[in-house]
Structure 1
């Protein structure tokens, strides 16, 4: 009876466990089942604090994308709400980011005019819907690992390029000048040319706002600096009547719930390439922010679940006017520092955005455009981190060059193509590393059995006349076998040894093409040069492969060794007389 009872219990538990690990279906918010009342107060405080930061920035990001400011509120409401219900990160705050906003702007520029608001909103809904569908399909295909395809140096360069593009894009609003926008260089030259026509009132408001934001960030880092700047900007318009002196304001912002905005299927083919790039960047930023702020003891964000949650957040937001969304590092940091304990804080932020839509929209219309530009510039400059470039250069010059290539790619060819440049640079970097693995000539630390690469820092290491000890590292396969062979021949020609001990302890895989080349090299060394090849430190899979190949028969057990120490001992015994 006990066994039967246990089997029934396991049967009841089975489906639930399968859903948590493998099924695409998502259960009712899991965090609610573990929620404790002690979390309520910190979650509410954190949610309201984040709202004070997210809402003004969301308005600013909408202007980056060339969309009406209310789209920022829609994005802080619907995607935030859906992610809070379905996401795996307790503190991740999902609306949009500077990177996504500039990518959206580039995408929309190809299908809609900023003067045709209705068409622009339809294009945005279509793009956001496609981003959501892309992320959901990626989840079905279990492509969460794709986020790892952009290396950190390349991502640093890409974001720095984005930061430069955004700052240059917002400068005209800060100066109160107007011109037809083009490439980055064109915009820079136009700004310089138009500076004499700048509005002094707009410049003054922009300068004050930037000074206020920077001062608050440095002196009162916990204060909602964007909200304070927005309130100050609106107050200045009300008190001093600045529009009469040429200051541009946001203008009419509709009050009420987000309108239903269906996508336009005719735009799908045009928007497909940028949607893929935006989906990749959305997921990359989301999973990076989620992992960065996960504490020990909390659930680690699950990449494939995050794909689905972020995809549904975008898909749901698309039909209610939201632009493409993703997790933001800054707002997530604010959420964590404000004491958030669960996804309830995201729900509170979402409801605050809804309250703003319903009751505060007329006030937002009074906000100076220079204020929004100041918010965008101050927080976009943070994407440009010279310190990170210096750190990369200090560690590795090659990867510093990759970071610069990504930066220049964004600035020169554009943001969407810049993603492709960033991915290509990452893949080329990976291919370069794999095609040229390190191969070391080894020595033994005197008085020990420790073997290490020969170096001028260790001139006292032992070597053994007539014995060349060489250690390649990594996977040896068709793409790098020739290069490894060239290095081995170079070392062999310089040392003129009797025996070459090839230490493969650092090689985790030896592909067929490489094995065939090694077989041919062994035969040539033995028959034409009188040099014996020994293999050392083979792992079980490589050893099994060698034994199944002709090389195993040629070497036999006598020329394969467990480690370099035993190989040296055999050499000293067998070749001491020579």
Structure 2
């Protein structure tokens, strides 16, 4: 059994259209949640199957068929790229897809292989030297796939899925936008009938520009017609499965007009038949395991990022440790039947989601089409023009670039906007996995900077209330008291930031020249020994200058730490208060009251 993650709301569902006003339930009669079906605990049924709804069938069927039209030709191309027999692509679109659908936690993730993984597969197979036959090459690929699968499953047992928690929402926004740019540049040559050896992103852009004079007019016309048809159908006839209709028409046109003879590149011949068992050669493990480790990391990162990026509000979030197990099992099973190492594909998941997928039933449909392709549909798949597939991928992926999301992030927080831009640039410049890793590193560095330099607020009280808030020109009438300075730090106070906190406080104290400083600790959830020592030293220095330090609103854990330290001994109970209001009231009645009595003529 795979290790379990914290349970998610398995009964949740993607947002549904609101019912007519006349049939809307009253506020007292909430819609009943989907009923859970009882089943034996030892049967690991997937969440989507336990809570499947009949109105999902149409969307899943259309999405599965549509995704198959993209996944299968791409998988065939990836197999060729890796130097494997073309049928290995079909096996990769069948077995990993099937296994993940029954074990994964994302409702719409489409799992086969990706450009990055196929390129790494090429490098891995090249590292063992030239193979004398396809059988030896398939055995080496099986060894690689088994290693990748085992590494992922071991990581699941060790509960290393927390790595996915370092991918923030702004990073995902940038990741998706970068993927959209990369996909467009990757598919544009197919759309125009331009051929060149692909390299880095900017090299590909330059080669596309240089290749424009050599554009195949017939290929470009077919691609343009497909693009227009897809856009028009999606805009004006949204209930029609546009990609499926366009691909079907393209197959008919390819047959009747003999497009291949007119220079339009098609998918080409696809061998038929069921996959045979392929056993790994463990003698190769010592050579392949380092790159298998990198591929496992890449597979998991791409899978998790794609699963989170395409999860709709209200759906159960993908559970990282279960995703490790499911992706590992998919790789392990696929490797034993001739499939390439795989993971969640961003492009195909985008097509799957946007075509209407509601659950992993769509992936089962895609896997069924791959199986049918092995047995029956090879001649039809061979007729699909590559430019039509490129048009489908472009139309269904370009929406990943959403300027509105970037503007929303920038409006709320500039630093997180920078994270999104870094993720976009990283994906475009250095590749999918490397790009998101760059963004994660930048995110962690920015987070470390924030933790090392937390804000310190000077507080005042809103008149006639017990509300304390930062001093601001917007609220010039807020109350302050002579000789009293209210400060509030935020966050954890520890060795890495205590110096900054101390310097900021001393500057504010020097400007205000107070008699008493009250530090509101309500925003401090933890304090370390180094910070306690700094506060104790600061208290002594302030006392020597005639300034008294008080603390207020310490949570129970922080209070216990302070009481056990020299700072607690110096302050005593009389200078630590339950809340800031109590501390201010004490100051008013004692310090200010005593001062008023001294100044009063009646006291003389």
Instruction: Tell whether the structures are fold-level matches, with TM greater than 0.5.
Output: yes
SS state at 1:382 partner:
helix
Which residue of structure 2 lines up, in the alignment, with residue 275 of structure 1?
Answer: 296
Q: Deviations over 1:537-562 (max 9, x none)?
A: 00000000001110000000011011
Give, in angstroms, the shift of residue 345 of structure 1.
Answer: 5.9
Which residue of structure 2 lines up, in the alignment, with residue 200 of structure 1?
Answer: 217
Matched, 1:30 2:42: no
Instruction: Determine which of 430, 442, 451 is the counterpart of 1:434.
Output: 451
Matched, 1:292 2:312: yes
Work out the CA distance in 1 between the residues paired with 2:480 and 2:589: 15
Give, in angstroms, the shift of residue 71 of structure 1.
Answer: 5.1
Instruction: Determine which of 335, 343, 347 is the counterpart of 1:325.
Output: 343
SS state at 2:519 partner:
strand
Work out the CA distance in 2 between the residues paired with 1:324 and 1:192: 32
Work out the CA distance in 1 between the residues paired with 2:279 and 2:176: 31
SS state at 2:400 partner:
coil
Work out the CA distance in 2 between the residues paired with 1:44 and 1:147: 31
Which residue of structure 1 lines up, in the alignment, with residue 9 of structure 2?
Answer: none
Give, in angstroms, the shift of residue 51 of structure 1.
Answer: 1.9
**Higher alpha-carbon deviation: 421-430 or 464-473:** 421-430
Contact 1:435–1:480 (8 Å) recurs in 2: yes
Matched, 1:161 2:181: no
Contact 2:218–2:263 (8 Å) recurs in 1: yes
SS state at 1:400 partner:
helix
Which residue of structure 2 lines up, in the alignment, with residue 422 of structure 1?
Answer: 439
Contact 2:117–2:298 (8 Å) recurs in 1: no
| 1:82–1:72 distance in 2 versus 1, CA, 3 Å | same
Matched, 1:564 2:580: yes
Which residue of structure 2 lines up, in the alignment, with residue 314 of structure 1?
Answer: 331
In structure 2, the gaps of 5 or more residues are 7-40, 596-604
| 1:20–1:237 distance in 2 versus 1, CA, 3 Å | closer
Contact 1:499–1:534 (8 Å) recurs in 2: yes
Give, in angstroms, the shift of residue 305 of structure 1.
Answer: 2.8
Q: Deviations over 1:283-309 (max 9, x none)?
A: 3333554x53655xxx76544333322
SS state at 1:292 partner:
coil
Contact 2:117–2:299 (8 Å) recurs in 1: yes
Contact 2:104–2:327 (8 Å) recurs in 1: yes
Contact 2:121–2:341 (8 Å) recurs in 1: no
Aligned-residue Cα RMSD (Å) equals 3.3
Give, in angstroms, the shift of residue 43 of structure 1.
Answer: 6.2
Work out the CA distance in 1 between the residues paired with 2:49 and 2:274: 32
Work out the CA distance in 1 between the residues paired with 2:443 and 2:405: 17
Which residue of structure 2 lines up, in the alignment, with residue 79 of structure 1?
Answer: 96
Matched, 1:540 2:561: no
Matched, 1:254 2:271: yes
Work out the CA distance in 2 between the residues paired with 1:453 and 1:245: 73
Matched, 1:102 2:115: yes
Contact 2:76–2:88 (8 Å) recurs in 1: no
Q: Deviations over 1:514-550 (max 9, x none)?
A: 11111111111112x2211111100000000001110
Work out the CA distance in 2 between the residues paired with 1:214 and 1:122: 44
Instruction: Determine which of 113, 132, 136 is the counterpart of 2:153.
Output: 136
Contact 1:534–1:555 (8 Å) recurs in 2: yes
Work out the CA distance in 1 between the residues paired with 2:241 and 2:374: 19
Give, in angstroms, the shift of residue 60 of structure 1.
Answer: 5.0
Q: Deviations over 1:471-515 (max 9, x none)?
A: 111111112211211221121111111111110111111112111
Work out the CA distance in 2 between the residues paired with 1:550 and 1:544: 12
SS state at 2:72 partner:
helix
**Higher alpha-carbon deviation: 466-475 or 346-355:** 346-355
**Higher alpha-carbon deviation: 145-154 or 462-471:** 145-154
Give, in angstroms, the shift of residue 54 of structure 1.
Answer: 1.7
> Matched residue pairs, number?
546
Q: Deviations over 1:165-215 (max 9, x none)?
A: 222122222111222322222211111111111110111111111222222
Matched, 1:554 2:570: yes
Matched, 1:54 2:67: yes
SS state at 1:216 partner:
helix
Matched, 1:360 2:377: yes
Instruction: Determine which of 393, 416, 419 is the counterpart of 1:402.
Output: 419
In structure 1, the gaps of 5 or more residues are 1-15
Give, in angstroms, the shift of residue 124 of structure 1.
Answer: 6.0
Give, in angstroms, the shift of residue 20 of structure 1.
Answer: 7.2
| 1:47–1:350 distance in 2 versus 1, CA, 3 Å | farther
Work out the CA distance in 1 between the residues paired with 2:350 and 2:587: 61
Work out the CA distance in 2 between the residues paired with 1:393 and 1:352: 43
